[in-house]
Structure 1
Amino acid sequence: MPTIDPRIDDYIANSAEFAQPILRHLRQVVHETCPDVEETIKWSMPFFLYQGMLCNMASFKAHCAFGFWKGELLVAQEDDKGREAMGQFGRIASLKDLPSKKTMAAYVKKAMALNTEGVQAPARAKPNAARELVVPDYFLAALEDKAGAREHFEAFSPSAKREYVDWLLDAKTEPTRLRRLEQAVEWIAEGKQRNWKYQNC
């Protein structure tokens, strides 16, 4: 019997209409490929576990996202896709934006093998060149889900916004980025800048 978390049923039901078939499809592929997978909710998003973190999915206003916990070892990814959405597949607005079911199943199998073998996710290289400030959609969506967070963020100076965005983008692993996202939203909702602890020292 598959391990189903009813909170994920609710998450899908409460997602935008376009997102529901995408989320159901991704969930089905994971369960069919990994019958022993377990479901849970972390950082307000559906996660799939198999001998550790396996993958996760999320829905936003205009797109979905899907990523493997050790995706850097599984999916060849262009830099812009990693910045435009969480995970390794960029902005997923329809099923056509995903690889074939067979390809996705192959990724799941590889992710399972990595967990079974105890392979650690590699650290992400920090970009050298300065870049234009672009706030990722997943960050904006997370801010909108927390009362007052988006308003506080918009009131910050450009440099204060950049500190938070760079902190997220410079995370070396997906787990680190998700933890930072949760912390950032909490601080911003309280009107705190990234380095608020040191501002009054």
Structure 2
Amino acid sequence: MASIDPRVDDYISKSAEFARPILSHLRQLVHTACPEVKETIKWSFPNFEYAGAILCSMAAFKQHCTFGFWLGSLMPDPDKLLEAVGEKTSMGHLGQIKSLDDLPKDEILIRYIREAMVLNEKGVKVKKEKSAAPKNVEAPSWFLDALQKSPTASVAFEKFSPSHRREYIEWVTEAKTEATRSKRLATAIEWMTEGKTRNWKYAKC
């Protein structure tokens, strides 16, 4: 039996207007392909679990959405949907999705979701590889919206190095509850307004 998480409803309702129909459609397709799927929120965006592991996930940003398969690197790709992985796709496998027209046909995406289900059923795992360089982490739309309300913090954030920006984004988005996330976001903006990095307390004077 499918598991619906009300936090996913909340995530969709709080996303940008363009993103809502995209996220709702992706959610519907996942449930169509995998009736036993379980919804959850991890890393502050919707994830779909099946057979005890993450199956796929979706997220909304300021100007686009993303959709990715947890085991995408191991999946067959007859329709060449996943070939852009690691280029300009953020954390998704379908590139930057700005409208429903950017999505593949429903029957194709459902087939890919079912291919991912087979891997989960087999207990396949992705081997972690050491990154040669730090990954760029994209800030969620709600993070950027909060920054825009504080011009000083926004300017400071843009001037920070990629690693310092990443530290703030990861710290805020990895909060396990909405209350903690809101508190961290407020603290982050306060520190950025003062020109401080995330780990300023540990910086050498």
Q: TM-score, normalised by structure 2?
A: 0.69
* CA distance in 2: counterparts of 1:98 and 1:181, whole angstroms: 30
* CA distance in 1: counterparts of 2:8 and 2:29, whole angstroms: 15
Measured at CA, do residues 14 and 162 of structure 1 come closer, stay the same or move farther in structure 2, by a change above 3 Å? Answer: closer
Partner of 2:69: 68
Q: TM-score, normalised by structure 1?
A: 0.70
Alignment of 1:42-191 (within 5 A): 42-50=42-50, 51-74=52-75, 75-82=82-89, 85-124=90-129, 126=131, 138-139=138-139, 141=141, 143-144=143-144, 152=153, 154-155=155-156, 158=159, 160-164=160-164, 182=173, 186=184, 188-189=188-189, 191=191
Q: Deviations over 1:169-191 (max 9, x none)?
A: xxxxxxxxx96773599584463
Q: Deviations over 1:109-140 (max 9, x none)?
A: 12222222222223356457xxxxxx76x316
SS at the partner of 2:11? helix
Larger radius of gyration: 2
Q: Note the C-alpha offset of 1:161.
A: 2.1
**Is residue 144–residue 150 contact of structure 1 (8 Å, CA) maintained in 2?**
no
Greater shift in the superposed pair: 28-37 or 72-81: 72-81
- Structure 1's unaligned 5+ residue stretches are 129-134, 169-177
| % identity of equivalent residues | 43
Query: Do structure 1's residue 18 and structure 2's residue 23 form an aligned pair?
Result: no
* CA distance in 2: counterparts of 1:19 and 1:99, whole angstroms: 16
- Structure 2's unaligned 5+ residue stretches are 76-81, 176-180
Q: Deviations over 1:18-77 (max 9, x none)?
A: 222211211111111111001122232211111211111112232111111222223332
